[in-house]
Amino acid sequence: MSPIGIFDSGYGGLTILNSIRQQLPDYDYLYLGDNARAPYGPRSFDVVYGFTRQAVTKLFSMGCNLVILGCNTASAKALRTIQQNDLPRLDPTRRVLGIIRPTAEVIGTLTHTRHVGVLATEGTIKSESYNMEIRKLHPELTVTGVACPFWVPLVEYNEADSPGADYFVKKYLDQLMEQDPLIDAVILGCTHYPLLMAKIQKYIRPGVQVVPQGEYVAQSLKDYLERHPEMEARCSKGATVSFLTTENAARFAQQAQVFLHQPVVATTINLV
């Protein structure tokens, strides 16, 4: 078994896993959530890097040759250091990929006004990772980011469809559009946010396209495996998925059903 590893600080990466499995159903997958230490957003770069390195090392030890950081905070604060400093030492034949670049690559084709918005956690917004990645690829674009601190709790407490969610969804959408009324494409820069899509579509200004990450990350992974047949051949294909968590396994399984809408069996592990 050599599954594709998908790591997240908690549950949000399950939306990435779901999208990847829809486009690439034949592969084996191993999901690892560091739920005991979530959320990563408020933590420093050094702490997020250390936690993420532990998770990547664990997934490597369990047979993964390819690991996706299905977490915006880990992609923003740890990916580059792991790629440049750790992989050459750990195993230069393995790969770790993030989820910010795929959306940044495609956003230039989705905006006509050349003004785009990013909705994400405070940690991702403060890192300016989306701004830097988008400007690197599309220097002509104007990027405006707004942090949405209440959106993740709404999802994790299964309140995404509740009337109370309307206030907080509308609040941050209005805040974003007030900062730049020319925005015509908005990236959901947090893996929890697709579960709020019905509310977001309800309050977003007409003509503004909402861009969730999952489908673009999945397409990017599909393209990557086609371009790298040597890595593709090292990924086992049994159409299985397994779940690991640093929290209570029963709690993880219950919460994961909110994201996947199917029963989940998880195993508790320790990363330290």
Task: Give catalytic residue positions.
Answer: 71, 190
For 91, other C-beta atoms within 10 Å of its C-beta total: 12
User: Please, where are the H alpha helices in the chain?
Assistant: 13-23, 45-61, 72-77, 79-81, 87-90, 100-106, 122-127, 129-137, 151-156, 163-179, 197-203, 214-227, 229-232, 249-260
Token pair, residue 244, equals: 């690991």
Token pair, residue 150, equals: 């209440």
For residue 269, report the phi and psi dihedrals to the nearest 5 degrees. -130, 170
For 210, other C-beta atoms within 10 Å of its C-beta total: 18
Q: Exposed/middle/buried for 92, CB within 10 Å: 0-12, 13-18, 19+?
A: exposed
